Structure 1
């Protein structure tokens, strides 16, 4: 591990506070001891952080603000799990004793950055928000680091990044320029929040923030436009990629290889491997007219878009992108700019193209690319650990584990050390091949070469145990992971829940869920809720499954197709067809098939996300309704399936009808009143038979099978 430079001294500009939001100082007189505080400060000045922490734990009183702030700074700067835990314990103590005002913003800012770097983005965000509430203006490098980490995080991270950016900048706008000099957003801060918008595909918000940059004396740099390339990819605007490159060149922004690599990666993401190859080949030839090459290739893209009927949707976005890329509107006489110099492919560029071959299933081309890179005279184009890992991954994807291991050996002979990612890829391959013994050997090999397994390693092993129905083994790996001091991730918990769900142990799945709720480092998301609901549904425990769904809704998490699919399967297993009707009504509401005045829920429909049911969910509901003789509802469901372009399984429904309902409404001995009550149901049954193509009253013929009609009451509802 490389030695870290000492932290910068506290900056006075970080320590100012705006008084009307300050926490009131505690009225409790805390004891102080000048001698012990001096000894503690001396240890801190000598950079003896561990000894200073030990001295702090033995103090009968809180040290002075200088000692506290410096101790937090140095613990944060160590940036290890242990040091962060120590720093957080100090914060917790100060919060409980209402003494947070003793810390300066430098200490809190460094702690927020350290927490963000360690992956604890929720804690980092809470620190920044606490600073704002307590009257501190955090330094831009502190709060923008948290925004950056949130933007790249999963779940709601990008949304939280945008919210945090907005909250900080709103606060800053309340004060004069002189007060907020060090807190004002810079280009790096804007790039962080723009990256969040790009990850979300929010082109409107991206444009709004982009327009704000000059107002805050921030100029877009090459990273800003690299993020714009990502936005084009997220919003499926492949034809705009060339305009981003042109805009960089027009504005005279120094071009970097990362931009060209991002272009290649974007085209590969669109499945356009031909254009990616054209870029790499043009670079190999040292050509400068890359923009013209891409414009020529782009002409076919616009025709394809028109043919697909997506032109209207594209036009809706054009106003936003024309503001970002005014060169979109240039005429046919426009001469695309040339690159300032020749850029030749490097290792990263070739590896990106290699990933495209892997994605397209071109394994031979992937291996050939590795061999070609080895023979390159330019050492900047030689394969690195990412290149070798890509080849290993390609071979693992097709189940060639022996060849994958050979590549690992070749990698070692080339003097390139395999890293944790390489070994995790091999782990995944062995688990997919149900070779858990070999997977365990990989873990031992990792440890022998000095590479510690991480949460991904153990998540893979737990998933492998599920594939062989070994829930006990999954639990062993989960506990082993924690024993090694590796914090379980969201995937760790949900994968273990899946193990207990598949093995028919919903109580244990619930225990894992409860433990996940208690873990402050992870967020219980829809996947976790669905896994718990699935555990109950597999055994037909409908009451518990439905109760869990209601709890989920109260937490602000709304069911998706998987949730409803589990409930539908549970209803079928529990034989509660009446619940299927309630579920179908809720699904209709979520799909917008019910008028506002008829909706069951009182919450605004804009809050609840629109549902897009799949074939499995609708088919299960239709199956339940047909078996329960709810023909009117069955017709509603199959009609909706046809509207969505899903072909209902008429053969299956015909078989169910013939087996279960062929003698309905044929008894000559039922009372008149009972016959009258059946009129509506009989009409629905005839309509359903008409849809199936069976003989029915719509054709003027009577539907009969062999038999005397006995047993009709058995099917009547």
Structure 2
């Protein structure tokens, strides 16, 4: 379940939920600060670490003084600090926060660090918001040096758990800039959160790991920075980022760094290796990973077996997944033998030779093949998660009956750990929704409730999506009300995104905007999908100015990254009305922000040009598209400023060719259709023939024209004849006559008509 949290604090927190447009959010930044007074992490009591303090001071050339000195304090301020410290020692965090908020003066550094630490450690939306407000106040008063590394590290962990990943990253980076070395549990938690984040999250996770390691390696005596050295969990987090990227070489490089830090791989490490093999299509290496970890004395966990089943299901190899699950049900320990036998006639390694060379150091397959398949150290029984994974494979393959039968089989299992849970039931509901059986899906939901397994937010979101896909938006709205009023489940951002998209499908942009504003009023932060979906509503309904307003809000929101889809949606909104000049302005802004137009962008522009009837713009657009389609030389490919090449699709080229034929730009039309044929696209000659006959059958009929104009007409006629030749129509290249006129009338293409 996604938890709702308030936006980062600003100067006026109360207005964040009441204002629909605009909303302003603040980003977290830290000033360069003096050395911290403590480095302990995950303990509320602050202690001093002299070694680390001396290390930080040794790295600095100078220690900057606070920019704003602390103002003179009243006589009773010391007693307030003592009272606040007493409450904090008694773990009365709420009372301490109340006392802090009532004071006009900043507490001592010890009290502030303790208060931020305890608020972060509570890890609730309210406590996290309070900790953020303290940071905002300290930043405003230029007093961030009052906090120690313990408080900042805990706040980073709390931000990561709360879903404020960018905020957590900014804390760790600011600590590094300020010569703090964060505790490994703090920075690895942020790396772990980044590794599974969308967009550029895995790459950012690797960069953050490298930044910390680079700083730690500067210190010769590792005992001074032992608290920041990577442990197994940290390596697992960054390896998971590499696996999510499918980057084998970088994965192996990080894996090779583990001995340097005296870190040994554990079962989770090998589980990530299994994920990597699945990500880079190396099904043949899955059994090798299992054999390798058993031979090294690393005991597989039930998650290891689940990862194997999930990998085979992901490859679509349900037969091997079924054999693996059946062997587990029979209590067999020779799973390596089972998987080897199922893997006999498998992958051709020639296509992955380069990857195999890299994998050889990580998984010495040539050596493993000579081993006798080892036995597992103990017997494992399949749990509900493994059964459900196989069930998802059936659902993906469209085997609805097998999905339902698997649920029945799980009910009959003697082991309670194999009985269906809410994920199992939700999988069946998802399969029924996918098949369009909404009534049966609701019956399964009712059965879940009778079995004492109530549906959760994911279950309702799947049903919500099913109703919207079937354009039953009224029933989707009823389901939203049922979730909130009857079941007591608050909709999350996925729920709102789904219902907003459903409103768009039935052309109800007003309702889409209402749900978007309701979502923000509930304190739910919009995602990238939320913004682009609402932009889509306004773009399709012919309201590009409102789409642009949503886009500007998206640019201001630090929690989301504007991507190519958002830019294209904005271009589409203007092009749907034929507002080409406004669309071109958006394209220029896109380039300024580091985005290059892609095929979708050009397709929208081509449709807008056709609607605006500006064939001259089509020529300019085609020249740009042609340049992007041209093959690049080695010198050009090394120039990063050049836009990447594109592969045009049928819609773009057909629209451009249509415009050129209607405007009698036959030479350009021939270039476009040649490009279509080069890219394996069959031009619609029947359509172009009809356009030519209807619009250009009486060309070149004027007998009175200047010499220059006649020359231009002669050139245009040659292009027209060439185009007719391509169409297969009678033309001068065949030395035949062609006329749309009845016999006896003069041919419009006679030489005397030029």
- Tell me the equivalent position of 1:101: 145
**CA 1:586–1:267 in structure 2 vs 1: closer, same or farther (change >3 Å)?**
farther
**CA 1:128–1:292 in structure 2 vs 1: closer, same or farther (change >3 Å)?**
same
Q: TM-score, normalised by structure 1?
A: 0.91
Mapped to 1, the partners of 2:63 and 2:703 lie a distance apart of 84
- Tell me the equivalent position of 1:677: 712
Alpha-carbon contact 1:588-1:594 (below 8 Å) kept: no
Matches within 5 A, 1:138-537: 138-176=182-220, 177-302=222-347, 305=348, 311=350, 313-328=351-366, 334-447=371-484, 448-537=486-575
Alpha-carbon contact 1:151-1:195 (below 8 Å) kept: yes
Please state how far the C-alpha of 1:431 moved relative to its aligned partner: 1.7
SS in 2 for 1:451: coil
**CA 1:270–1:696 in structure 2 vs 1: closer, same or farther (change >3 Å)?**
farther
Residue 662 (structure 2) pairs with residue 627 (structure 1): yes
Please state how far the C-alpha of 1:284 moved relative to its aligned partner: 2.3
Residue 81 (structure 2) pairs with residue 43 (structure 1): no
Mapped to 2, the partners of 1:253 and 1:484 lie a distance apart of 47
Mapped to 2, the partners of 1:469 and 1:27 lie a distance apart of 56
Please state how far the C-alpha of 1:93 moved relative to its aligned partner: 2.3
Q: Deviations 1:181-221 (Å, cap 9, x if unpaired)? A: 11111221111111111111212211211111212222222
**CA 1:685–1:214 in structure 2 vs 1: closer, same or farther (change >3 Å)?**
farther
Mapped to 2, the partners of 1:51 and 1:324 lie a distance apart of 54
- What RMSD over aligned residues (CA atoms) do the two structures have, in Å? 2.8
Q: Deviations 1:291-311 (Å, cap 9, x if unpaired)? A: 333334334333xx58xxxx4
Residue 69 (structure 2) pairs with residue 29 (structure 1): yes
Please state how far the C-alpha of 1:609 moved relative to its aligned partner: 4.0
Mapped to 1, the partners of 2:561 and 2:399 lie a distance apart of 38
Alpha-carbon contact 1:243-1:328 (below 8 Å) kept: no
Mapped to 2, the partners of 1:412 and 1:338 lie a distance apart of 42
Alpha-carbon contact 1:420-1:453 (below 8 Å) kept: yes
- Tell me the equivalent position of 1:604: 639
Please state how far the C-alpha of 1:6 moved relative to its aligned partner: 8.8
Mapped to 2, the partners of 1:232 and 1:174 lie a distance apart of 34
- Tell me the equivalent position of 1:9: 45
- Tell me the equivalent position of 1:71: 115
SS in 1 for 2:345: helix
**CA 1:668–1:315 in structure 2 vs 1: closer, same or farther (change >3 Å)?**
farther
- Tell me the equivalent position of 2:693: 658
Mapped to 1, the partners of 2:738 and 2:99 lie a distance apart of 91
Q: Please, which moves more after superposition, 98-107 or 21-30?
A: 21-30
Please state how far the C-alpha of 1:329 moved relative to its aligned partner: 5.9
SS in 2 for 1:645: coil
Q: Please, which moves more after superposition, 248-257 or 11-20?
A: 11-20
Mapped to 2, the partners of 1:201 and 1:705 lie a distance apart of 62
Contiguous gaps of at least 5 residues in structure 1: none
**CA 1:216–1:544 in structure 2 vs 1: closer, same or farther (change >3 Å)?**
same
Please state how far the C-alpha of 1:43 moved relative to its aligned partner: 2.2
Mapped to 2, the partners of 1:560 and 1:220 lie a distance apart of 43
**CA 1:498–1:328 in structure 2 vs 1: closer, same or farther (change >3 Å)?**
farther
Mapped to 2, the partners of 1:711 and 1:56 lie a distance apart of 92
SS in 1 for 2:380: coil
Higher relative contact order (CA 8 A, sep 6+): 2
Matches within 5 A, 1:56-67: 56-67=100-111
Mapped to 2, the partners of 1:648 and 1:695 lie a distance apart of 19
**CA 1:580–1:370 in structure 2 vs 1: closer, same or farther (change >3 Å)?**
same
Residue 584 (structure 2) pairs with residue 546 (structure 1): yes
Mapped to 2, the partners of 1:343 and 1:453 lie a distance apart of 38
Mapped to 1, the partners of 2:695 and 2:703 lie a distance apart of 19
Q: Deviations 1:399-450 (Å, cap 9, x if unpaired)? A: 2111111101111111112111111111111222222232222222222322
SS in 1 for 2:177: helix
Mapped to 2, the partners of 1:659 and 1:237 lie a distance apart of 57
Counting matched residue pairs gives 699
Mapped to 2, the partners of 1:115 and 1:608 lie a distance apart of 37
Q: Please, which moves more after superposition, 288-297 or 430-439?
A: 288-297
Mapped to 1, the partners of 2:326 and 2:690 lie a distance apart of 59
Mapped to 2, the partners of 1:52 and 1:603 lie a distance apart of 59
Alpha-carbon contact 1:15-1:105 (below 8 Å) kept: no
Q: Deviations 1:218-245 (Å, cap 9, x if unpaired)? A: 2222222221222222222333322222
Residue 723 (structure 2) pairs with residue 688 (structure 1): yes
Mapped to 2, the partners of 1:408 and 1:52 lie a distance apart of 45
**CA 1:293–1:159 in structure 2 vs 1: closer, same or farther (change >3 Å)?**
same
- Which of the numbers 126, 132, 137 marks the counterpart of 2:181? 137
Alpha-carbon contact 1:191-1:227 (below 8 Å) kept: yes
Q: Deviations 1:607-662 (Å, cap 9, x if unpaired)? A: 74443333322332333333333333333333333333333333333333333334
**CA 1:236–1:42 in structure 2 vs 1: closer, same or farther (change >3 Å)?**
same
Please state how far the C-alpha of 1:388 moved relative to its aligned partner: 0.4
Mapped to 2, the partners of 1:49 and 1:708 lie a distance apart of 99
Mapped to 2, the partners of 1:335 and 1:94 lie a distance apart of 63
